[in-house]
Structure 1
Amino acid sequence: MQIGMIGLGRMGGNMAKRLRDGGHEVVGFDMNPESERDVDSLEALVEALSAPRVVWVMVPSGKPTEETIDSLKTLLEPGDIVIDGGNAKYTEDRAHAAALAERGIRFLDCGVSGGVWGADRGYALMLGGDRETFDAVRPLLETLKPEGDHGLVLAGPVGGGHFAKMVHNGIEYGMMQAFGEGFATMMRSEYVENPAAVMDSWREGSVVASWLLDLFDNATQDDPELKNTPAVANESGEAKWMIEAALELGVPTPTTAAALWQRQSSRGGADDILRVVTALRAQFGGHVTKVDEIAKW
């Protein structure tokens, strides 16, 4: 098939490569003139594609996605298809679909997982939209997904793909937090001499064996105690969205919430909170904690 790829960063660029390796024709555009783009504008991208066109949007969520879809609405024609593969919030998808539908343009939202390894391993793809549009682009999706029977699903109507990816990322948060807590517990115990080696042993035969453990092994090859890794973790917003959605649906998500709070605390957000707690403990109980004592910890 032929496809236009908007956004040639770490994800979009690798996806374009996998599609080309699979025999598809990719016309790539990126705002960065130093990217490996094929055209220098959205207008040129649309002009280079044959109708009915398929355009994959792989840009950051928020304003970049909004502006791109607004532009495509004026440039594309009835029967064309827009796939939003970025990390847009699921609640935005129906508005995008409705706006494009005014011009007869079809829309799919697609949650994409696979990171920088996806070009070789394939991507897990979660789609939202109607079956007819899904089937129309299925050859592209089959090339992007891993080999085998898994890695591709039509999750539901418009919004379903990004909702599924949001939940996927919330689960990912919890899994990484659990591995981190286990590693930290072993690091502080006299009973385990090499926590990284223990976790590496779990990669085969263990019920917690996973690709995340494989990646942990990669990370600890040259730094078994992760001393050179900063104790700061950013969050993309999807775990926050999942917790919000779960609250509305009446679903308790303590694991995802704890992992999110931990990431937020790592960025210094808890420092002032803990100063208040420490100060109050000193006031009512005489529990004085000195800065030089903390340094010894």
Structure 2
Amino acid sequence: MNNHADIGLIGLGVMGHNLALNLAEHGFVVAAYDQNPTAASQAAEAATARGAGSKGTVAAARTLQALVDQLAAPRKILLMVNAGAPVDAVLDGLLPLLQPGDIVIDGGNSRFTDTERRSAALAARGLHFVGSGISGGEEGARKGPALMPGGSPEAWAAIRPLFEAIAARAHGEPCVAHIGPGGAGHYVKMVHNGIEYADMQLICEAYALLATAGLDNDAMAAVFARWNDGPLQSYLIEITARILAQRDPETGAHVVDLILDKAGQKGTGQWTLVDAAERAVTVSAMGAAVDARVLSSLKASRLAASTQLAGPDGRIAATDREAWIAQVHDALMAAKIVAYAQGFDLMATAGRERGWGLDLAAIARLWRGGCIIRAQFLNRIAEAQSGPAPVANLMLAPWFRDTLAQVHTAWREVLAAAMRAGVPVPAMSAALAYHDSWRSPRLSANLLQAQRDFFGAHTYERVDKPAGQHFHTHWPEVQG
């Protein structure tokens, strides 16, 4: 038995392969296993070819037993396999080989409820289970991801040196923090992905607003590049500028114009919506983003409907191009604030309900590097969440409140122009409705509650009576 490896890694797909190289370059010895032996051998060869750290290396293991035999106690094993049944299948083969105190880390996009179940099952065997969100894609895995581990404090203490070494860094700090017990890490990664859905959709709507006003791809690439030097600076804005400028070597056309307008999704956005509905938290910008992806997938139906449904021609008449660009910028900023406010509201609610003690400021800080939604904007969120008395909603924190006050007029003008022209902007619209609902001292829900009382005797509270008292009216019967 040559138990000198620092960590085992199971699953050498794109993410697992690059994480193995990242670990090796930071001086760790990685025992690597994959159902395809070639994948493990390729990772080992790549680590050698790239000149890993003086002590770091990747050693291929042909069996799970061989992998376990290479690990120093307490064993630390990172699973990078597809979420769902594949994780359980790997655990079925792995657990009989482990000893109490060993640590299994699921680095995939697992549903947090599955992580809670697995954590309890492993704890009953004296094992630690860490559900860790990992964001940043292929590049992040290789050069430094954002890491969101959940699990016991003992497990975190054991894996902390490895995770802090390989994580991205922002403002000199590693983009990793212990999120909380059980499924907290995967929960936060789920909400990260929900925010990511909204952020991407909002950027796509800004693109549509600019394109339908007559800007070509090169002009829009320059606009997004300029925006990336300001308060909208983010990874997603940066890559949007690069995407819009990219040309196809075969045809010379812009690549973005050659891509079919059908968006895919892997489910984490939908999980966020389901969880938010169960907690009675509004995440309407995320919901609109998920709906937009679903509608985009109905390409044939949309083409047929385009010949039957009446409406404007989808062109925005912007007489002053620079003024329109500035307005779209402000609309994007405003809607982005709302999307993040909804995501952080959801995490705050889940943290309270599940007793996770989520540190929202730490989460905002670790998202500043490595992950897909990394942005300058997150510094403001971290500041807003660091005070002794957190605001009820991020929109009410001073910087966000003041920014919304400055940009909401442009936001409304942009959406009005989009509606008149027939340009769909579902996420921006949902965000504005949320903003206006929050600032309305009286909504139309009084009529809604009267309707509920009429047909179901659900009762209601009165504005002229103490809160908590409920009343019922004997409404006139409907005739016929």
Q: Could you say which residue in structure 1 is the equivalent of 2:369? A: none
**Inter-partner Cα distance in structure 2 for 1:55 and 1:93:** 15
Deviation at 1:274, TM superposition (A): 8.7
Conserved? CA contact 1:19–1:25, under 8 Å: yes
Q: Indicate the percent of aligned positions where both proteins have the same amino acid.
A: 38
CA RMSD of aligned residues (A): 2.3
Q: Does 1:5 align with 2:9?
A: yes
Number of equivalenced pairs: 280
2:77 aligned residue: 55
Match of 2:195 among 149, 158, 171: 171
Alignment of 1:247-266 (within 5 A): 247-266=277-296
8 Å Cα contact 2:26/2:165 also seen in 1: yes
Question: What secondary structure, in the 3-state scheme, does the structure 1 residue paired with 2:104 have?
Answer: strand
Map 1:59-208 to 2 at 5 A: 59-147=81-169, 148-190=172-214, 194-204=219-229, 206-208=230-232
Instruction: Find the aligned partners of 1:230 and 1:101 in 2 and give their Cα distance.
Output: 47
TM-score, structure 1 normalization: 0.87
Mapped partners of 1:149, 1:95: distance in 2: 32
- Note the alpha carbon deviations across 1:188-246, whole angstroms, 9 max, x for none: 11367721211111111x22110112222332332357112221221111111111111
1:263 Cα deviation after fit: 1.2
Q: 1:161-211 deviations in whole A, cap 9, x for unaligned?
A: 00000000011111110111111111111367721211111111x221101
229-238 or 108-117, which moves further after superposition? 229-238
2: CA distance, partners of 1:146 / 1:191: 36
Work out whether residues 112 and 187 of structure 2, in 8 Å CA contact, stay in contact via their aligned partners in 1. Answer: yes
Unaligned runs of 5+ in 2: 42-59, 248-253, 312-480
Q: Which residue in 2 is equivalent to 1:292?
A: none
Cα gap change, 1:271 to 1:254, in 2 (>3 Å): farther
1:293 counterpart residue number:
none
Task: Tell me if structure 1 keeps the 8 A contact 2:243–2:255.
Answer: no
Match of 1:244 in 2: 274
The amino acid of 2:285's aligned partner reads T
Relative to the length of structure 2, the TM-score reads 0.55
2:34 aligned with 1:30, yes or no? yes
Contact 2:164 2:174 in 1 (8 A): no
The one-letter code sitting in structure 1 at the alignment partner of 2:138 is V
- Aligned partner of 1:217 in structure 2 is 241
- Structure 2 residue corresponding to 1:17, chosen from 17, 21, 33: 21
Instruction: Provide Cα deviations, 1:230-276, integer angstroms capped at 9, x if missing partner.
Output: 212211111111111111111111111111111122222x7558968
Q: Which amino acid aligns with 1:102?
A: A
User: Does structure 2 retain, via aligned residues, the 8 Å contact 1:196–1:225?
Assistant: no
Say which structure is richer in strand.
1
Q: Which moved more, 1:98-107 or 1:8-17?
A: 98-107
- Structure 1 segments of 4+ aligned residues over 3 angstroms from their partners: 190-193, 270-279
Structure-1 separation of matches of 2:187 and 2:303: 34
SS at match of 2:77: strand
SS of 1:107 mapped into structure 2: strand
Specify the code of the residue in structure 2 equivalent to 1:254. Answer: S
Which has the larger Rg?
2
